[in-house]
Amino acid sequence: MLRGALALILVAAGPAAAADPAAYAAAVAEARARWESSPHGPLLERILPPTFEPKQLPAPRSRGAELTVRYCVQCHNLPNPAMHHAAKWPGIVERMVLRMEGRGNLGPLMTEMMAGVKAPSAEEAKVLVAYLRRHAQKPLDPKKYPEVNRPSGEPFRLACNQCHVLPDPKRHTAKEWPAVVERMQENMEWMNRVVGSRPIDGEPQLRIEDINAFLVKYARKR
């Protein structure tokens, strides 16, 4: 009786014990070497920036983190759950799972590379979605920050909604924001989007100073 119960607990703990954050970096590097050397390497390289590292994954010992490392680095750099708001993740994961199953829009293009690609089970896909949603971006509520729709909020609004929803300024402190914005500039260059300080179609000018001023004004206090 006791033995039975113990075995059951061990089985239940099985998958969690498989999550080994120390092995994440090596797993990501191995996957990367594979997609990077494919004929589509240069295209895949630019899909997501290399700014987010496995050691930064939230709840690194969770099954969700482990599955993200197992499945989501097979074609591009590691996605950050905080990149998108919760509502966005189910659709993205659905699109990615179709690709992993060889049924995505870039399927034929990627056939050579697709050979080694593994797809999650339906149950694993659910865990992935739940994990990404739990650690997602919190979107800015324009009712709380009406300035976002005024001219003074424009540089932030135009620069920061090109890849994901506008982030809630309370996500970071005034001290933290400039470094985040600087990283986003790198992301923009990496992903070929419009970079602050450079005009979109000639205008408006998106000045980094104005973007930082908006975020710092409404930043979390500490």
Residue 180 interacts with ligand HEC (CB under 6 A)?
yes
| Nearer of residues 18 and 158 to ligand HEC, judged by Cβ | 158
Structure tokens given for 13: 């703990």
Q: Cα 81 to the chain's mean position, in Å?
A: 4
CB of 129 to ligand HEC, least distance (A): 8
| Nearer of residues 21 and 213 to ligand HEC, judged by Cβ | 213
Residues in Cβ contact with 95 at an 8 Å cutoff, skipping those fewer than 6 apart: 104
| Nearer of residues 65 and 72 to ligand HEC, judged by Cβ | 72
Residue 193 interacts with ligand HEC (CB under 6 A)?
yes
Residue 207 interacts with ligand HEC (CB under 6 A)?
no
Structure tokens given for 193: 């989007």
| Nearer of residues 118 and 143 to ligand HEC, judged by Cβ | 118
Structure tokens given for 197: 């300080």
C-alpha distances out from residue 161 to 155, 186, 194, 195, Å: 10, 15, 11, 12
Q: Please answer whether residues 177 and 212 qualify as being in contact, where contact means their C-beta atoms are separated by less than 8 angstroms.
A: yes
CB of 138 to ligand HEC, least distance (A): 9
∠ CA 93-94-96 to the nearest 5 degrees?
60
Structure tokens given for 155: 């540089």
**Contacts (CB under 6 A) with ligand HEC, residues 77-116:** 79-80, 82-83, 92-93, 95-96, 99-100, 106
C-alpha distances out from residue 132 to 85, 95, 120, Å: 9, 14, 15
| Nearer of residues 21 and 51 to ligand HEC, judged by Cβ | 51
**Contacts (CB under 6 A) with ligand HEC, residues 40-79:** 47-49, 51-52, 71-72, 74-76, 79
Residue 220 interacts with ligand HEC (CB under 6 A)?
no
User: Which of 117, 130, 174, 200 is close enough to bind ligand HEC by CB under 6 A?
Assistant: 117
C-alpha distances out from residue 32 to 20, 72, 107, Å: 19, 11, 19
Residue 200 interacts with ligand HEC (CB under 6 A)?
no
CB of 8 to ligand HEC, least distance (A): 30
